[in-house]
Structure 1
Amino acid sequence: MPEKPGITSSELGTLWLTYQQKTMVLRMLEYFIEKADDEKAKNIMVNMYDEVDPYVEEISVIFQNEGVAIPVGFTSEDVNKGVPKLYDNGFDIMFFRLIKEISMAMHTLNITMASREDIILLYKDLTSITQKYYNACTQYLIEKGMHARPPYVSMPKKVEFITDTSYLRGGLNPLSKKRTINTVEVANMFHAIETNITGFQMITGFAQCANTQEVKKYFTKGAEISKSIIKELNEVFLEDGIQTPVVSGGNTTRSTVPPFSDKLMMYCTSLFSSFAMGGNSIGTAFSLRNDLTTKTSLFMKDIFEYAHEGAKIMIRNGWMEEQPPMEDREKLI
């Protein structure tokens, strides 16, 4: 049998990112498992932990075999399981459902950048695990009445074609009439509202318990951005008489004791910000009403600037682990 080829720069980069994300997820699972009062939710999280943990070790072995320094990622120093609950029941599964959405996107992209078979299979396995627990979290939330379903619509009885460019008009001209949003636009906006509600709950808790004023202020700003996005998209729905999503449960408690390090909370917020930019890009690409594309473009601008500000805070505090660099040929020469 021929020897395995060495990993490529792309494979190194995606494995490195996966290691960071998975070690963060494991630390957060450790806390939420400790605080779980609902047995079914606890079982979902325990099983998730048991299935994800071996892949962190598998990535470590690949790095060792390739002579790669094992990243620090997130360790027991980044979690404190002995503190009071920061969130009410239900938030844990809401949070991990969103984490599984992010993971599905990451693994699908990563598999397209891998060529070595063992790495392709690793991402294939992780994708399968992610889909399994995304479904488990979704069904749990439905069962508990904590999942807001998108609105129903009358089914189309015939095929129609767009015959007038007025279909593209939005509210940029106050004298022009806007058409009702279509189901594709509803899907993207509903998803954006839903994810921002979970993100708002998460970051509000982070703001309550962050150790430094700089980080508290940053999280508070993030909560305001999420509120603004939810408000603007809800207004679009209400204009067309469409039901807006309402999520019950999962609220932040009164605790101000941090269960996670500022480093971990900042990384988690950065991950959510990256996911939000990707989601808004898709929303922009598939919306045909020009006022909606303008809104989502402005959301992306705000989120990008927010993420950039967060990166600066992480660098100043020594929390941002450097991604594996390419050789600086000019410096070597």
Structure 2
Amino acid sequence: MEKNNIKLTTAEIAILWRTYIHNTAVRCFYKHFLQHLQDVEIKSIIEEVVVLIETVIGKIEAIFEKEYFPIPKGFSDKDIDLSAPALYTDLFALSFVYRGGQIIIPHYANTLTKVTRIDIYTFFAECLYSEAELHKKSLNLMLSKGVNDRPPNIEYPKSVEFIQHQPSLINTWLGEKRPLNTLEITELFVGIERNAIGLILLMGLIQVTKDKEIKDHLLKGKKLAEKKIDIFDKLLRENDHLIGFPVTMEVTNSTISPFSERLILFIISATSQVSVSALGDALSIFLRKDLVAHFSLLLADVMKYGGEGLKLMIERGWVEQPPQPIDRNEFYKS
């Protein structure tokens, strides 16, 4: 079979489709940011982000057109009001790029392990490189502006050690009294950082959402983000690794929504999906029983919350159906 005749696999279809939907969604946020940015350095990065997003969207459209595959609807200028006042400050726009990189880079890296057609592999490899470069720029700029906290430092160990196989030591290692190790400290710190950015996002969206049912859902998400920050912060404080995490007010006083309610629900639903993955990853490396208990309960909370958001979207007819294979059971009906 010639290379040009190789059809897209289900994995490639799913990844291209999902990447397209998510890029059209975040494009709306970046377009809103660009309308109001004052900081020249931040504006330059946001402009680069928009160019990359437009490039990714355009290339996926070209792939689908070549395959005679229907292009998803996604989100468009109909989901954004460019005349609306600024909802977030310049610094939040910068942190949005930084947080986006934390989500998108693992997505592209994971994608490379699932695709097999070389042109699709090359496309996502290029996406990964470009996103990593932008993330590095946003990180450097955040550090230069003093709006990014580094994870805690520790004294370097003097030698390599192994856990001894003794019941008393195993109980200490798996119990709640053992000091946090570097793997656990990292997950707790990143969890605080991730939820702090999400909390600011929610604060702005709550402020402009008119639909009571959607606003109640966002308020519930805000409480859940605050709960996670409190738990992670307490665990770090108990081990003298971090004292608080300042969540600065990066939301303006505007009450005019720049975004459609469909877009708002989608973005929050997407962040819930990311949170499920992050909590699961953390659980896979924890050994302290109290950490496992905390994260297991939070995982259940986030999954429930995500399900409630999806239900709201389905009830309003706002969920675009992912590509489906033929239901052959229909052929068997008499």
TM-score between the two structures when normalised by the length of structure 2? 0.95
Match of 1:290 in 2: 289
Decide whether the 8 Å contact of 1:170 with 1:292 is kept in 2: no
Gaps of 5+ in 1: 172-177
Quote the offset at 1:198 in angstroms: 0.3
1:60 matched to 2:65? The reply is no
1:124 matched to 2:125? The reply is yes
Quote the offset at 1:119 in angstroms: 0.5
Mapped to 1, the partners of 2:55 and 2:162 lie a distance apart of: 51
Change in 2 beyond 3 A, CA 1:247/1:90:
farther
Mapped to 2, the partners of 1:205 and 1:332 lie a distance apart of: 49
Once the two structures are superposed, residues 44-65 of structure 1 have per-residue CA deviations (whole angstroms, 9 ceiling, x without a partner) of 0101211221221111111112
Match of 2:257 in 1: 258
Quote the offset at 1:69 in angstroms: 1.1
Match of 1:148 in 2: 149
Decide whether the 8 Å contact of 1:146 with 1:248 is kept in 2: no
Which residue identity lines up with residue 52 of structure 1 in the other structure?
I
Which residue identity lines up with residue 274 of structure 1 in the other structure?
Q
Once the two structures are superposed, residues 167-193 of structure 1 have per-residue CA deviations (whole angstroms, 9 ceiling, x without a partner) of 33334xxxxxx1111111000110001
Decide whether the 8 Å contact of 2:89 with 2:252 is kept in 1: yes
The 5-angstrom pairing of residues 18-29 of structure 1 reads 18-29=19-30
Match of 1:329 in 2: 328
1:165 matched to 2:166? The reply is no
1:179 counterpart SS class: coil
Mapped to 1, the partners of 2:331 and 2:18 lie a distance apart of: 26
1:48 matched to 2:53? The reply is no
Quote the offset at 1:143 in angstroms: 0.6
Quote the offset at 1:195 in angstroms: 0.2
Mapped to 1, the partners of 2:217 and 2:227 lie a distance apart of: 16
Which residue identity lines up with residue 68 of structure 1 in the other structure?
F
Decide whether the 8 Å contact of 2:30 with 2:46 is kept in 1: yes
Query: Any runs of at least 4 consecutive aligned residues in structure 1 with deviations exceeding 6 A, and if so which?
Result: none
Mapped to 2, the partners of 1:268 and 1:122 lie a distance apart of: 25
Match of 1:302 in 2: 301
2:4 counterpart SS class: coil
Mapped to 2, the partners of 1:218 and 1:28 lie a distance apart of: 20
Change in 2 beyond 3 A, CA 1:162/1:133:
same
Mapped to 2, the partners of 1:198 and 1:147 lie a distance apart of: 11
1:269 matched to 2:287? The reply is no
Mapped to 1, the partners of 2:253 and 2:285 lie a distance apart of: 40
The 5-angstrom pairing of residues 74-223 of structure 1 reads 74-163=75-164, 164-171=169-176, 178-223=177-222
Match of 1:175 in 2: none
Once the two structures are superposed, residues 184-224 of structure 1 have per-residue CA deviations (whole angstroms, 9 ceiling, x without a partner) of 10001100010000001101111111131111100000000
Mapped to 2, the partners of 1:302 and 1:212 lie a distance apart of: 23
Coordinate RMSD, CA, aligned: 1.4
Which residue identity lines up with residue 153 of structure 1 in the other structure?
I
Decide whether the 8 Å contact of 1:147 with 1:247 is kept in 2: no
1:242 matched to 2:247? The reply is no
Decide whether the 8 Å contact of 1:87 with 1:205 is kept in 2: yes
Decide whether the 8 Å contact of 2:207 with 2:255 is kept in 1: yes
Which residue identity lines up with residue 172 of structure 2 in the other structure?
Y
Give the percent of matched residue pairs that are identical in Structure 1 and Structure 2.
27
Once the two structures are superposed, residues 289-327 of structure 1 have per-residue CA deviations (whole angstroms, 9 ceiling, x without a partner) of 111011111111100000000000001111110100121
Match of 1:9 in 2: 10
Mapped to 1, the partners of 2:305 and 2:67 lie a distance apart of: 36
Once the two structures are superposed, residues 133-192 of structure 1 have per-residue CA deviations (whole angstroms, 9 ceiling, x without a partner) of 111111111011100111111111111211220233334xxxxxx111111100011000
Mapped to 2, the partners of 1:2 and 1:227 lie a distance apart of: 51
Decide whether the 8 Å contact of 2:196 with 2:229 is kept in 1: yes
Decide whether the 8 Å contact of 2:15 with 2:111 is kept in 1: yes
Quote the offset at 1:88 in angstroms: 2.3
Once the two structures are superposed, residues 96-126 of structure 1 have per-residue CA deviations (whole angstroms, 9 ceiling, x without a partner) of 2111111112111222111111110111011
User: Please, which moves more after superposition, 79-88 or 320-329?
Assistant: 79-88
Match of 2:229 in 1: 230
1:286 counterpart SS class: coil
User: Please, which moves more after superposition, 121-130 or 47-56?
Assistant: 47-56
Quote the offset at 1:244 in angstroms: 3.7
Mapped to 1, the partners of 2:280 and 2:172 lie a distance apart of: 21
Mapped to 2, the partners of 1:32 and 1:89 lie a distance apart of: 8
